[in-house]
């Protein structure tokens, strides 16, 4: 009986320690994602200004569009080391998408026409493939 009680106590202790570690990791991830969202608004604003005022070629996207948009301050992209960053333009509208390091899962998408991160995909759709979700015509429609 004493042997069973010791095993039960050991099992409970391991379970509690494991769940405690998992909770802390989730909090760090959330904090990191919120930081990325904040950095993303600066990048998506730069892309928006480039698309809206400079009229780059319509087929310019992803790394090429990001390079043109941040040439005044390439350090804007530093926060995204270890992530895949994509950018698109549709007419005078644009958005930037952050995906995980494998490029398979979408994390955050932001349209440059707004002032806050528009879609925290990591929270609302955690298994969303790395692809654009926002309808730019709707998000960027004039009030």
pTM of the model: 0.78
What is the distance between the alpha carbons of residues 70 and 62, in angstroms, rounded to a whole number?
A: 12
pLDDT tens digits, 107-137: 999 999 987 778 889 888 888 999 999 999 9
Per-residue pLDDT of 16-44, as tens digits, reads 444 444 433 344 388 888 899 999 999 99
Residue 89 has pLDDT above 50, yes or no: yes
Domain interval for residue 122: 2-139
pLDDT value, residue 103: 95
Q: How many folded domains does the chain comprise?
A: 1
């Amino acid at each position: 009986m004493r042997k069973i009680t010791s095993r039960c106590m050991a099992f409970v202790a391991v379970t509690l320690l494991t769940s405690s570690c998992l909770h802390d990791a989730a909090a760090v991830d959330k904090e990191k994602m919120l930081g990325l969202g904040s950095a993303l608004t600066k990048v998506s604003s730069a892309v928006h200004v480039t698309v809206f005022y400079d009229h780059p070629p319509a087929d310019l996207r992803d790394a090429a569009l990001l390079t043109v948009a941040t040439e005044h301050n390439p350090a804007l992209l530093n926060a995204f080391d270890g992530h895949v960053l994509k950018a698109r333009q549709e007419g005078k509208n644009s958005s930037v998408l952050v995906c995980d390091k494998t490029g398979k899962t979408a994390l955050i998408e932001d349209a440059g026409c707004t002032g806050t991160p528009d879609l925290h995909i990591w929270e609302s759709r955690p298994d969303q493939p790395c692809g654009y979700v926002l309808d730019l015509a709707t998000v960027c429609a004039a009030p």
